[in-house]
Amino acid sequence: MTAPSLRVLIIDDEVQIRRLLRVTLEAAGFEVREAENGALGLAEAAGWRPDGVVLDLGLPDLDGKEVLRRLREWSRVPVLVLTVRDSEEETIAALDLGADDYLTKPFRSLEILARLRAILRRVQPAPEKAVVRFGDVEVDLTTRIVRRAGKEVKFSAREYDLLRHLALHAGRVVTHRQLLRELWGPNAENNTHYLWVYMTHLRQKLEADPHAPQFIKTEAGIGYRLALGE
């Protein structure tokens, strides 16, 4: 008996884009449905319960960010934003609203498949009992012990909380605003210098070359990402 296909909902007003995505995704084994505007997309998401959503930001009835905001009120379905808007502000806004990744048009079929598969693998956050590994580092989320090359590395409480947050979202971009809100509270959302100081500490303790980090990556103007291996 074969496993059921993963279901992907495409919310995009361009017929050609929907057709290309359908052909690409169905050839890769996904089950696909389409919606040509935000209202239909939200209705399909509620009724069909897809495993993933590809969402255009430029919709005729609702801005894609509003669709994402409404979707996130009741669903944690992985969302890949697909848009012609490539500004830093748009990217940050979509990620802050709960998008799992974004891709600008025009796109390559193989890239969108890779991005979609990656976010679908991250449907659930890493469990608390997990051990997250990157390079020669092990982060034990149960015992709160971090080892590098088998030796325990000491962290302050704030340093560990920052590393833990990155580990729980490994592979995903976590925005400055998200990190500051989670670790310092809503009144600290503009204090990005906090992050610079603590990221420097983490890199000094975990990276072979803190000035050319292999794992704790900066996404310029957006946030940070823990790369498990690239």
Q: What is the DSSP string of 18-50?
A: HHHHHHHHHHTT-EEEEESSHHHHHHHHHHH--
Q: What is the predicted pLDDT for the residue at 220? A: 86
Neighbours of 13 (CB within 10 A): 17
pLDDT confidence of residue 127 = 45
Token look-up 């600008």 returns 104
Its pTM stands at: 0.59
pLDDT at 230: 54
DSSP-based three-state secondary structure for 70: helix
| Separation between Cα atoms, residue 14 and residue 59, nearest integer Å | 9
Q: For the chain, 230 residues long, give each residue's pLDDT as a single digit of tens.
A: 334 689 999 999 999 999 999 999 999 999 999 999 999 999 999 888 899 999 999 899 999 999 998 898 888 899 999 888 667 788 788 888 889 988 888 888 899 999 999 888 876 544 444 788 999 999 987 778 999 999 999 999 899 999 998 998 888 888 888 888 878 877 777 888 889 999 999 999 999 999 999 999 998 888 999 998 65
- Domains in the chain and their CATH numbers? 7-121 (3.40.50.2300), 131-226 (1.10.10.10)
pLDDT at 226: 92
- Collapsing DSSP to helix, strand or coil, 210 comes out as coil
Tokens of 15: 């017929």
User: What is the pLDDT at residue 91?
Assistant: 79
Write down the pLDDT at residue 123: 62
Provide the token pair at 114: 């890779």
In angstroms and rounded to an integer, the radius of gyration of the C-alpha atoms of the chain is 19
pLDDT at 170: 85
Residues comprising the chain, all counted: 230
Q: How far apart are CA 103 and CA 21, in angstroms?
A: 13
